[in-house]
Amino acid sequence: MPQETRPNGTAAAYVRTTPPAPVAPPMAGLGPLRWIRDNLFSSVSNSLLTVLVIALIAWVIPPLIQFLVIDAVWSGTDREACLATPARPEVGACWAFVREWFSFFIYGPYPVAQRWRVDVFFALLAFGIGWLLWLDAPRRDLGALFFFVILPVVSVALLRGFPPIGLPVVETALWGGLLVTLVVAAVGIVVSLPIGILLALGRRSDMPAVRLISVLFIELVRGVPLITVLFMASVMLPLFVPPAWSPDKLVRALVGIALFSSAYMAEVVRAGLQSIAKGQYEAADALGLGYWTGLRFVVLPQALKVTIPNIVNSAIALFKDTTLVFIVGIFDFLRTIEIARGDPVWATPVTSVTGYAFAAMVYFVICHSMSRYASGVERRLGAGDRR
Amino acid sequence: MNDAIGIGEGADAAPEAPYAVEIVDLHKWYGDFHVLNDVNLRVARGERIVICGPSGSGKSTLLRCVNALETYQRGQVIVDGVLLTHDLKRIDEVRREVGMVFQHFNLFPHLTVMENCTLAPIHVRKMPRKEAEAIAVHYLTRVRIPEQANKYPAQLSGGQQQRVAIARALCMNPKIMMFDEPTSALDPEMVKEVLDTMVALALDGMTMLVVTHEMGFAREVANRMVFMDEGQIIEINAPQPFFSSPQHERTRAFLGQILAR
């Protein structure tokens, strides 16, 4: 309703007497065709890119499906199944090989009779991770207790063995495959978080000595490749300590990886600590909470919440870095594939490619789920901030 | 409700120290900048002091020296008989007895209103959760928002958040309450609800140190007005003479500007 204007230009007094009825939004901007035009062909350069990407997809995807699915060999007992014959000139992925070696990829040389222990460990690990990562889960404090205290103890007893309750010892030299990859990654992530938090706090400490030590450790470790740390841990360490004291090879690698990732975790957490407003620290101080109480109930819950995506990011990087343990002679998942593809029983032109394709898929599934989780949390936190 | 937790309780307890706050020859520098210059102020128990002055005059810094959010280089700050030094244990002891309300509320956004109010009583005073919650309900009722107890700070208006901040400080049962420009960050229509809460607190006999530009509030509750400029106390006087016949020319200029609005 336009406001009336008097002939001399001054506005007439106006009071609305009835509220206006709500009106539906205009229809323009809806429908799939409209979306395609707006998003894929909005400009010349955008249209060119769209065409280019479609061409790229058409060029890559069909051969991939051809190799991985259509031409693939799904069953067989040896290389004969995966060799090209006049009747079948094109041979795709040799999944029969993966099936044959599958349990080796998962357990490595772990004794067959004891593999149920690894399965129980996997189940407990999945349960613990699920409890911890599901933000609305009941009693997440118990979940944390389970994951950070009970699970490590139970896992060592389960995997390494505990003769008093009838679990024979399985030397870590017999561990392998996905088991080792998950153990290394899980220990690395779980241990690096608390150490990383302490280092981050140390770096922000008022005490110069604490600050110096933290900065030195973080910068030293970040300035060195992981391979160097692993070599140090597995080759140099035994030279300095008597053989009787020298810990297990896997343990040495675990310590190396945990310390390495702590330095990175420290920087991630430090960013989170810096994002907390000064007023929060002051309010905690003004209430007399003291350093540790304020940290535990005010600062860390907020800082860790905003760093969850970055923590997961570090976890993904660490998960992939675990493949490096093979250079100190540990049979991680990728290493078991390396071994299997050298098996003469399955020596065919497609064996290696198949093995690597399988490894790529396993790594992708695990890393991508972590990444999806991180972005889910990020979206949710964003929604919380808009509240 | 429990009678033992009345607001005025802090004012008449602990008779051993003559003053609630004693500030003697206080000097503070930020680098070369002399932010507090020879400040002397004695606050009696139950006394209500309003500190005003232009921005950058050191009013907030002075308050923050009283609960050791800021350190000082020379002089003495004695709170409830305790001399503030670098001794962290002493500092926390003092902070427990001094409630502080900030300009920007500084509520903990990840905790509900109830959790904001019970956090310090439970973890500093080692109070059972039930008791802490009863006290929180008591003070939330006093600031007239008991129904918001289970909301998060971001769901409240600015005025409501500031009243929660007051309740949070009161839940520690402090002997002294300090307010650092508590209404400056509020929309105009919310100023009154916060000031009303503060007036009620004053009427209960709480010792209060208030930095504010709300001169109506100052006239109503202050026992003494303190005017600061360039890190010094320029004038201390009772509100009536302070407003009607300010002695110092800088006070006159400041009041002229602030009351002309």
Q: Where are the domains of chain A?
A: 34-69, 95-110+173-227+253-386
Residues 298-337 of chain A whose Cβ lies under 8 A from any Cβ of chain B: 298, 301-302, 305
A115-133 vs A177-203: helix axis angle to the nearest 10? 40
Whether the Cβ atoms of residue A305 and residue A377 lie closer than 8 Å to each other: no
Residue A244 has pLDDT above 80, yes or no: no
Which chain A residues are closer than 8 Å to B69 by Cβ?
282, 285-286
- What's the gap in Å between the CA of B218 and the closest CA on chain A? 24
For B190-226, give one letter per residue: b (16+ CB within 10 A) or e. bbebbbebbebbbeebbbbbbbbbbbebbebbbebbb
Residue of B nearest to A305 (CA): B110
Residue B39 three-state SS: strand
Task: Look at A280 and B119 and tell me if their CB atoms are within 8 Å.
Answer: no
Residue B229 has pLDDT above 50, yes or no: yes
Task: Look at A289 and B107 and tell me if their CB atoms are within 8 Å.
Answer: no
pLDDT value, residue A4: 55
Residues 84-123 of chain B whose Cβ lies under 8 A from any Cβ of chain A: 88, 92-96, 98-100, 102, 104, 106-111, 119-120, 123
**What top-level class would CATH report for the domain A95-110+173-227+253-386?**
mainly alpha
pLDDT digits (tens, 9 = 90+) for A52-71: 999 999 999 999 998 888 88
DSSP A231-259: HIIIIIHHHHS-TTTPPPHHHHHHHHHHH
Q: Is A286 on the interface with B (CB under 8 A)?
A: yes
Enter the ipTM.
0.88
Residue of A nearest to B179 (CA): A286
pLDDT value, residue A387: 42
Residue of B nearest to A303 (CA): B110
pLDDT value, residue A269: 94
pLDDT value, residue A2: 53
Sheet containing B82-83: which strands, arranged edge to edge?
B33-43, B21-30, B74-79, B82-83
Whether the Cβ atoms of residue B180 and residue B60 lie closer than 8 Å to each other: yes
Question: Mean pLDDT lowest for which of A71-80, A101-110, A194-203, A334-343?
Answer: A71-80
Residue B180 three-state SS: strand
Which of B69, B100, B154 shows the shortest C-beta gap to A387?
A: B154
Helix segments in chain B, DSSP class H: 9-12, 59-66, 88-97, 113-123, 129-142, 158-170, 188-203, 215-221, 239-244, 249-260
pTM: 0.81
pLDDT digits (tens, 9 = 90+) for B55-82: 989 999 999 999 999 999 999 999 988 8
pLDDT digits (tens, 9 = 90+) for A113-139: 888 999 999 999 999 988 888 878 788
A284 vs A328, more confident: A284
Which chain B residues are closer than 8 Å to A286 by Cβ?
67, 69, 95, 98-100, 102, 169
Which of A285, A298, A305 shows the shortest C-beta gap to B95?
A: A285
Averaged over A319-345, what is the pLDDT?
Answer: 89
pLDDT digits (tens, 9 = 90+) for B182-191: 999 999 889 9
- What's the gap in Å between the CA of A387 and the closest CA on chain B? 7
Residue B187 three-state SS: coil
pLDDT value, residue A264: 93
pLDDT value, residue A252: 87
Task: Look at A301 and B154 and tell me if their CB atoms are within 8 Å.
Answer: no
Which of B107, B124, B152 shows the shortest C-beta gap to A288?
A: B124
Contacts 24+ apart (CB under 8 A), A251-254: A251/A172, A252/A328, A253/A184, A253/A325, A253/A328, A253/A330, A254/A183, A254/A184, A254/A187, A254/A188, A254/A191
- What's the gap in Å between the CA of A374 and the closest CA on chain B? 19
Q: Is B171 on the interface with A (CB under 8 A)?
A: no
Give the number of A-B residue pairs with CB atoms closer than 8 Å.
66
Residue A212 has pLDDT above 70, yes or no: yes
Q: Is A205 on the interface with B (CB under 8 A)?
A: no
